[in-house]
Amino acid sequence: MTNPMDRLRSNLSRVRIPEPTNRIFKRECCISFDTPRSEGGLFIDLNTFLAYGKDYVGWNFEKNGNPVYLHIKQTRKLIPEDRPLKKPTHLAIGVEGGFDNNETEYDETHNIVILPDYVILPFPSVELPEKVRLAVDAILMAEGAERKEQVAAWTADKKQTSAYAMNLRQINNGVIVPPSGWKCAKCDKRDNLWLNLTDGMILCGRKNWDGTGGNNHAFEHYKETGYPLAVKLGTITADLEGSDVFSYPEDDSVLDPLLAQHLAFFGIDFSSLKKTEMTTAERELDQNTNFDWNRIQESGQEVEPLFGPGYTGLANLGNSCYLAATMQVVFSTRSFCSRYYVNQNLKLAFGAAPADPTVDLNMQLTKLGHGLLSGKYSIPALEKDDSANTATTTDTKQEGIPPRMFKAVIAASHPEFSSMRQQDALEFFLHFVDQVERVHSGKPDLDPSKSFKFGIEDRIACSSGKVAYNRRHDYILSLNIPLHEAINKEEVQAFHKLKAEKISEGKDVRSSDEIVRPRVPLEACLAAFSAPEEISDFYTTALKAKTTAIKNAGLTSFPDYLVLHMRKFVMEEGWVPKKLDVYIDVPDIIDISHMRSKGLQPGEELLPEGGPEDEAELNMPVASEDIVCQLVSMGFNHLHCQKAAIKTSNTGVEAAMNWLLSHMDDPDIDLPISQQSQGATIDQSKVDTLISFGFQEEIAQKALKASGGDIEKATDWIFNNPDASASSDMDATSSGTAQTLVDAGLTDGGGKYRLFGIVSHIGTSTQCGHYVAHILKDGRWVIFNDDKVGASVNPPKDMGYLYFFERLNS
């Protein structure tokens, strides 16, 4: 038999000494949730520095042939009763166990293991080759990749004060920013909008690598004007430090100590908001939020802890409850359960993964699916018995599995989800299903996200009497809450009267039992979605002019799983953010069959195809005569001045002059505006983007020409000119064949659904507070509150933020 030391020496070529830039995993298996505290410990590959549990290290040897491993095993040790308490560190804040002064300590042992025979050599030992000793010492001394990424995410959130904030110049253009209804000044984008703090321009943000986000107009405005700071609309709250301010020259999110002053310049006054927040809002927070917290988390209820397959909790990584609640519901669906658990084992996923399985979404989803559904980790946690100074099992809670690697993969392309800040569960769900769909682009039959996907059809009737049908796909049905449809209006009015009387007397409504909230039926929210909606400035090809149109919406398909999003967060006058204090009456069974769209009906006539030239001429921007006259009086060319005013969206003389001085040598500076617009070259990358949406190249070119090269407007142009895209798979025509093309690959069936999942939110904003999931499993409701899993006594069906319905077979 070969001497173990000789075997080790013969494999030294497969041992590497880690460099400072290497990622070293030593806390968790990359295939499972095994740790050094697991029964078999953890094996670290001395070539790749990836970690594997006892049952999986052999797979790595079969795949990569790496035979030498560092084995780490931790066993619980007794803690002296008189041990002083430890002071928590700054980085412990918000981190799991950060304030646990009685946390259990472990003894750790190390060995060198050589596969395939699992030959064991003790470490430390002077007999080991120097290369092995250096490699192991470096691994043990290094901060693990898991911890390093977590610390980096925390510290990355610490913003620095901008060098441009204290002396920021602001231009008085008479701009007053309203509290809602914002739109990019250069396109039709209505989300991801930024307010430039110098001139008050509202423009869309940067385009992400995957085509999502804005159209770069805010950044382009900075390049044209040099105005450095912008604040993201929708993030402005009474806590100004929580507002998202970006510095373009510093290329980072920053702090603006004078943000209140800079915002007040454009009519955003925070003095009244702060006063309101410190009185009414805080008083209601004591009454309502505490009530929500107890009701949604079922505090005070005798909740029976549950263990076993499908009842595994997720450890909170620090503000990760939005992820935990969402993924618990997602993995309660047949589609995701089948894709990543029933029909795919861990070995198959590992075999198909790249060299580093920690960065592979398929591998990490399979790992998460097996962790949640197998029951392997759903066992009672060990608790320290202080009286006996021993560790005993408890039947009241479990430790839960930490979704670190999954979070790192799914958030890799998203700056917000990769942070340690609280996030919107809705935004995370949409990002998640989008990423899942992308990785299945070549194999749609395996894509589990399609079980959530459905078609929406908008019927638009203009004043000419003709109609257009526009179709799109979505994963969620977002519903407004019509408070005027509340079924308890009289009780609500009486409560507010009583509340006003008590406040006038200096008293508070302190008992949660006294609080009366509007109660709105879900049916009313669904009806509001389908109700006629007036569209202003609709360009009709029948009249070749803008007019008012009426839009009705319906569904072209009914997915396997329907997700309803309740729009509880609104912005009131005076920039006061508000969460609607409302109950939604949600029945266990709903029928949305009446919401199916019918397509073109007999006697209806589609809007004719229109030439893009007419609309382009109609939409051509006009220069401000006041700005042009002032520039001309300075000696500049009249045509050049017109272009400068148009290019800076008529924001002011100074902005126009800056543009003019930096574009005097442009080759097309003397080209007439109309000719320049008509003869402009269409950016092929924008054509390719529209093609990727499913439009034909000819239609994409025509739309871009009509919209001045703006992708957002081009998309709207195609939807508003349905006959122009007759052969596109995003077609707005009426034939049965076209309908089939549009909805190809979508699941469909009857309109009856059963409620099976609820994601509830506690707090005043989606960016703070807490998320909890309630799921119908095995005929009973179960609460998933991070790592706590138990039988629900009173599921908060009327307090959900996201509702998940499963289509009944029909």
Q: Which residues belong to the active site?
A: 321, 770
3-state secondary structure of 608: coil
Say if residue 127 is exposed, middle or buried (CB neighbours under 10 Å; 0-12, 13-18, 19+).
Answer: exposed
Q: What are phi and psi of 333, to 5 degrees?
A: -90, 150
Amino acid identity of 649? Answer: S
* Cis omega (within 30 of 0) for bond into 309: no
- Sequence-separated (6 or more) residues with CB below 8 Å from residue 223: none
Categorise residue 78: left if φ over 0, alpha if ψ from -120 to 50, beta otherwise. beta
Which neighbouring-strand residues pair with 314?
A: 401
Q: How far is CA 680 from the centre of its chain?
A: 37
CA angle, 744 then 748 then 752, to 5°? 165
Q: Which residue has the tokens 């909805």?
A: 743
**Structure tokens belonging to residue 715:** 């998309």
Helix axes 653-662, 638-647, angle to 10 degrees: 110
- Cβ burial of 77 (10 Å; 0-12, 13-18, 19+) is exposed
Strands 252-255 and 533-540: unpaired
CA–CA gap between residue 347 and residue 366 (Å, rounded): 10
Cis peptide before 228 (omega within 30 of 0): no
The residue whose two tokens read 């097996």 is 370
Beta strand 800-807 pairing with 106-114: unpaired
Element (H, E) at 151: helix 145-156
In total, the chain counts a number of residues equal to 810
On the CB side of 398, CA atoms within 13 Å amount to 27
DSSP code per residue over 457-520:
EEEEEETTS-EEEEEEEES-EEE---GGG-TTHHHHHHHHHHHHHHHHTT-----GGG----EE
Backbone angles phi, psi at 207, to 5 degrees: -85, 130
Contacts by residues 633-642 (CB-CB < 8 Å, ≥ 24 positions apart): 636/660, 639/670, 639/672, 639/673, 640/664, 640/669, 642/673
Helix (H, G, I), strand (E, B) or coil at 755: strand
Lookup: tokens for 112: 């060198």
Secondary structure (3-state) at 109:
strand
> Which of 328, 371, 368 shows the shortest CA–CA distance to 782?
328
| H/E element, 297 | helix 290-297
The phi, psi pair for 762, rounded to 5°, reads -115, 125
Cα–Cα distance measured from residue 434 to residue 612, given in angstroms and rounded to the nearest whole number: 32
Cβ burial of 244 (10 Å; 0-12, 13-18, 19+) is middle
Residues 685 and 674: their CA atoms lie apart, in Å, by 24
Residue 504 region by backbone torsions, left for phi larger than 0, else alpha for psi between -120 and 50, else beta? alpha
List of residues 6+ apart from 637 with CB closer than 8 A? none
How many other C-beta atoms are found inside a 10 Å radius of the C-beta of residue 224?
A: 16
Nearest C-alpha neighbor of 369 from the set 413, 335, 320: 335
Closest CA to 617 of 705, 715, 714: 705
> Are residues 742 and 556 in contact, defined by beta-carbon separation less than 8 angstroms?
yes
